[in-house]
Amino acid sequence: MSDKDERQPDDTGPAPSADLAVRGVQVFRARLGVSEQSDLVATLRAVIRAAPLFSPMTPYGRPMRVRMTSAGRYGWYSDRTGYRYRTRHPSGVEWPPIPPQVLEIWSGVTGLARMPDCCLINFYDAQARMGMHQDRDEADFGYPVVSVSLGDDALFRIGNTTRGGKTESLWLNSGDVLVMGGESRLIYHGVDRVRPGSSTLLPRGGRINLTLRVVD
């Protein structure tokens, strides 16, 4: 694949279906058109006003570079005692509900009737990255993980179901949706870097990732 996918999403036709699978990870390129992306960002701003972004502490005692918050019955959280889900934002408020547009993305790419319990909202500034990890704080790995990219491009790395070994990388662009399910549900993955200024979706730049998961 080329370093940069030049296709521009448009709102004139149906979104293309999965055009790529890397190690069982499905990538739906330009699943969201430009206006859907802007509407979604406006909706997410309201979520973030109710449940502001924060920088969780890793179990290793360093604050994460990615700032985050959640929507849904559960929010993902980390501190010195480990990774887990909790039912309230650190401020004490309940997490806001997952916006209907986000649930529609989930249904569209998974075909599942069961809705996700958690929509993790990750915000990456120009320096942020996320180390290689598995998503494994959920009860049932039979449900996929769905990840939505908005804003600046991100270099996403895909490894194996055990730590180490060869990896493959792909650029995720604004509007792309990725699904880790089946044999790829427990695959190691991470974000090496974002490409600042590659998108005009967010006026002050940066990248938003939504990660949708069934928790219990």
Ligand X SMILES: O=C(O)CCC(=O)C(=O)O
Nearer to ligand X, 110 or 211 (CB): 211
Locus of tokens 């694949």: 1
Nearer to ligand X, 15 or 150 (CB): 150
- The C-alpha atoms of residue 173 and residue 155 are separated, in whole angstroms, by 9
Residues 127-166 that bind ligand X (CB under 6 A): 130, 135, 147, 154, 156
Question: Applying CB under 6 A, what is the total number of residues that bind ligand X?
Answer: 11
- The C-alpha atoms of residue 89 and residue 153 are separated, in whole angstroms, by 28
What does 122 interact with, of ligand X, Mn ion, none (CB < 5 to 8 A by kind)? Answer: ligand X
Backbone dihedral region for residue 197 (phi beyond 0: left; psi -120 to 50: alpha; all else: beta): left
Interface pick for ligand X out of 71, 105, 120, 214 (rule CB under 6 A): 120
Residues 32-61 that bind ligand X (CB under 6 A): none
The closest residue (CB) to ligand X is 209
Would you count residue 95 as binding ligand X (CB under 6 A)? no
What does 191 interact with, of ligand X, Mn ion, none (CB < 5 to 8 A by kind)? Answer: ligand X
Query: Please, what is the minimum distance in Å from the beta carbon of residue 122 to ligand X?
Result: 5
Element of type H or E holding 107: helix 100-110
- The C-alpha atoms of residue 98 and residue 121 are separated, in whole angstroms, by 11
Applying CB under 5 A, which residues contact Mn ion? 135
Element of type H or E holding 72: strand 67-72
Query: Please, what is the minimum distance in Å from the beta carbon of residue 182 to ligand X?
Result: 17
What does 15 interact with, of ligand X, Mn ion, none (CB < 5 to 8 A by kind)? Answer: none
Spell out the residues 6+ positions from residue 54 whose beta carbon is closer than 8 angstroms to its own. Answer: 67, 68, 69, 90
Read off the tokens for 113.
Answer: 């009737």
- The C-alpha atoms of residue 125 and residue 110 are separated, in whole angstroms, by 29
What track of x and - describes contact with ligand X for positions 172 through 191 (by CB under 6 A)?
-----------------x-x
Query: Please, what is the minimum distance in Å from the beta carbon of residue 21 to ligand X?
Result: 17
- The C-alpha atoms of residue 61 and residue 177 are separated, in whole angstroms, by 31
Q: Which residues make up the interface to ligand X (CB under 6 A)?
A: 120, 122, 130, 135, 147, 154, 156, 189, 191, 209, 211
